Structure 1
Amino acid sequence: MDIRQLEAYVYTVKYRSFSLAAQKLYLSQPTVSAHICNLEKELHTQLLKRTTKTLSVTPAGQTLYNYAAEILDLRHKAILELSNEQETMLHIGVSSVPSLYLLPELLAAYHEKAPEIRFRTSCSDSLDVINKVADSTCDIGLVGTKTAEANCEFLPVTSDELVIAAPNTPHFRAYQSQSDPLTALLREPFLLREDNSGTKQETLYFLQNHGLSLDELNVIAVMDDAAALKRCIALGMGISILSRATVQTDAQQGRLLLFPLGQSAFLRRLYIVYPSIRRMSEQAIHFLDFIKRYYRIG
């Protein structure tokens, strides 16, 4: 039994997939399968039940998973504490909305308090950031939604209003005179954020709360670039549900029209996502404590 076998096993159980585990570990799927087969031979017990469609964990497999996950956590913490680079470097994952409206002021405020700390940030969609925090690629994340990811904690830090953004054209200006334009607006051509976007997840929640499904929208494009999506709206392609913070300037400059989602604003939470404290470096814990004080939460 070695650390590579345990790592392959933990990732396979976590994602319930040999292929996803291989992708996350940058290994081939046969290599991951071989690691787990060797573990089962060494332990003389079946760890996973495999069928053509499902993958489940046996009682013995669950016991091994608990121990293996703890071993990997301890290894990760040892690396963090013994690496000089990691002691002064914080890796932060951030999704599109928090990257513009939370991250800059947060980093500036913390830099003033701890100028010796260096930051490395990476911007992607919310679900990717959550996965990176879960597998320790990032120390902490700033995201626009939360999931049931077992290896992560979510701390709400502020609210973000979602609105309908529409082209500033006579056709859409006519909606401004209507007392309740929402139903009619949602029949217009719709531009949607990509599947892993926090905005997309919150859009689905909004539709569900209003008895609607995505299939009832006239979705003409799915886009992973928020800036390009806004530009397409301004050019008249259609509407979208977006963060007010990301489109407020465009509305003030006359490029877009904004409509609230119903009679009351639809607010979503923005979150700090972080792993269990035992997996965090001292620097990451200090940064998390600073965030709690900064936003007066926790």
Structure 2
Amino acid sequence: MDIRQLEAFVYTVKYQSFSLAAQKLYISQPTVSAHIRSLEEEFHTQLLKRTTKSLSLTPAGTKLYSYATEILTLQQKAIVELANETKPQLRIGASSVPSLYFLPELLSAYHAVHPDIRVYASCSDSLDVVHKVDDGICDIGLVGTTTSDTSCEFLPFASDELVIAAPATPHYQAYQTMPSPLDALLKEPFLLREDNSGTKQETLHFLKNKGLSLDDLNVIAVMDDAAALKQCIMLGMGISILSKATVQADARQGKLLLFPLGEAAFLRKLYLVYSPVKYMAEEGGVFLEFAKRFYQL
């Protein structure tokens, strides 16, 4: 039994997928399977029940998962504390909207008070940031959605309006003359963010509230790059639901048209995410308390 085998086991359970575990660990799927098979051979017992549709833990697997998460947490604690022997550091993950429009101001204010702390900030989709916090890779996260599939806690710190962004063409300008264009707009070609995006999750919530699903949309593309998706809209490819903060400058320049999601603005919350049960370096705790004061939480 070694750390790599335990990582493969824990990630497979966490993501309920051999392929996703391999992707997150940057190894091949056969390697993940081999690591778990080695653990089962070493302990002479089955750890996972595999079907074509799901994975579940056996009683032995449940016990090992508890021990394995503790071992990996201790490993991360050792890495963090030994790294901090040279210079204290803070690891922050943020999804696209918080990363561009909230984190810079927060970090600037934090640095003015704690200039000796080295900050490592990474940007990815919301659910990936949550998993990084849950795994101890990041101390704190700033994300655009919540999930129940984690031990993390979510603290709302700001609101973000979602709007429909459309090409600034005569075809879509005609919608501006309609008193209630939303239902007609949702029949247009639609560009969608990837599954783990906070914007995608909130889009699903919005559709559900309207009694719709993705099957009711004419989805022509799914993209994990918000900037590329926005460029496709400008070029007339279709519409999308995006954060107003990311598109309002383009709208002012006449590159996009914006439509509110209904009679009232559709607001989603942005969250500080942290783990109350996993090890957090002292710098992470200090930053969390600073952020709470900064946003008057």
Q: What is the TM-score normalised by the length of structure 2?
A: 0.89
- In structure 2, what is the equivalent of residue 235 of structure 1? 235
Mean Cα deviation higher: 1-10 or 136-145: 1-10
- In structure 2, what is the equivalent of residue 129 of structure 1? 129
Instruction: Give yes or no for contact 1:80–1:86 (8 Å, CA) kept in 2.
Output: no
Q: Which amino acid aligns with 1:202?
A: E
| SS across alignment from 2:137 | coil
Q: Which amino acid aligns with 2:107?
A: L
The separation in 2 between residues aligned to 1:194 and 1:35, in whole angstroms, is 29
The separation in 1 between residues aligned to 2:22 and 2:269, in whole angstroms, is 33
- In structure 1, what is the equivalent of residue 295 of structure 2? 295
State the identity %: 72
In the TM superposition, what is the alpha-carbon distance from 1:170 to its structure 2 partner? 3.0
Instruction: Give yes or no for contact 1:73–1:279 (8 Å, CA) kept in 2.
Output: yes
- In structure 1, what is the equivalent of residue 79 of structure 2? 79
The separation in 2 between residues aligned to 1:51 and 1:176, in whole angstroms, is 51
Q: Which amino acid aligns with 1:261?
A: L
The separation in 1 between residues aligned to 2:5 and 2:191, in whole angstroms, is 44
- In structure 1, what is the equivalent of residue 266 of structure 2? 266
The separation in 1 between residues aligned to 2:28 and 2:86, in whole angstroms, is 29
Change (3 A) 1:185 1:48: closer
What is the RMSD computed on CA atoms of the aligned residues?
A: 2.3
The separation in 2 between residues aligned to 1:150 and 1:75, in whole angstroms, is 20
The separation in 2 between residues aligned to 1:254 and 1:28, in whole angstroms, is 46
Pair 1:111-2:97 in alignment: no
Deviations 1:246-266 (A, max 9, x none): 111112222222111111111
The separation in 1 between residues aligned to 2:25 and 2:228, in whole angstroms, is 32
Change (3 A) 1:168 1:71: same
The separation in 1 between residues aligned to 2:286 and 2:199, in whole angstroms, is 29
- In structure 2, what is the equivalent of residue 50 of structure 1? 50
How many residue pairs get aligned? The number is 297
The separation in 2 between residues aligned to 1:203 and 1:180, in whole angstroms, is 19
Q: What is the TM-score normalised by the length of structure 1?
A: 0.89
Change (3 A) 1:235 1:65: closer
In the TM superposition, what is the alpha-carbon distance from 1:243 to its structure 2 partner? 0.8
Instruction: Give yes or no for contact 2:191–2:223 (8 Å, CA) kept in 1.
Output: yes
| SS across alignment from 2:163 | strand
Pair 1:207-2:207 in alignment: yes
Deviations 1:152-171 (A, max 9, x none): 22221111000111223333
Q: Which amino acid aligns with 1:99?
A: S
Instruction: Name stretches of at least 5 consecutive residues in structure 2 with no aligned partner.
Output: none
- In structure 2, what is the equivalent of residue 226 of structure 1? 226
Change (3 A) 1:188 1:86: farther
Change (3 A) 1:5 1:169: closer
Q: Which amino acid aligns with 1:11?
A: Y
Q: Which amino acid aligns with 1:238?
A: G
| SS across alignment from 1:171 | helix
In the TM superposition, what is the alpha-carbon distance from 1:24 to its structure 2 partner? 3.1
Deviations 1:108-137 (A, max 9, x none): 010001001112222222222222222233
Instruction: Give yes or no for contact 2:134–2:278 (8 Å, CA) kept in 1.
Output: no
The separation in 2 between residues aligned to 1:6 and 1:181, in whole angstroms, is 53
Instruction: Give yes or no for contact 1:8–1:36 (8 Å, CA) kept in 2.
Output: yes
The separation in 1 between residues aligned to 2:10 and 2:18, in whole angstroms, is 11
Instruction: Give yes or no for contact 2:151–2:277 (8 Å, CA) kept in 1.
Output: no
Instruction: Give yes or no for contact 1:140–1:284 (8 Å, CA) kept in 2.
Output: yes
Query: Matches of residues 29-108 of structure 1 in structure 2 within 5 Å?
Result: 29-84=29-84, 88-108=88-108
Change (3 A) 1:262 1:29: closer
| SS across alignment from 2:200 | helix
The separation in 2 between residues aligned to 1:221 and 1:31, in whole angstroms, is 32
Q: Which amino acid aligns with 1:71?
A: I
In the TM superposition, what is the alpha-carbon distance from 1:44 to its structure 2 partner? 4.4
Instruction: Give yes or no for contact 2:87–2:118 (8 Å, CA) kept in 1.
Output: no
Change (3 A) 1:12 1:192: closer
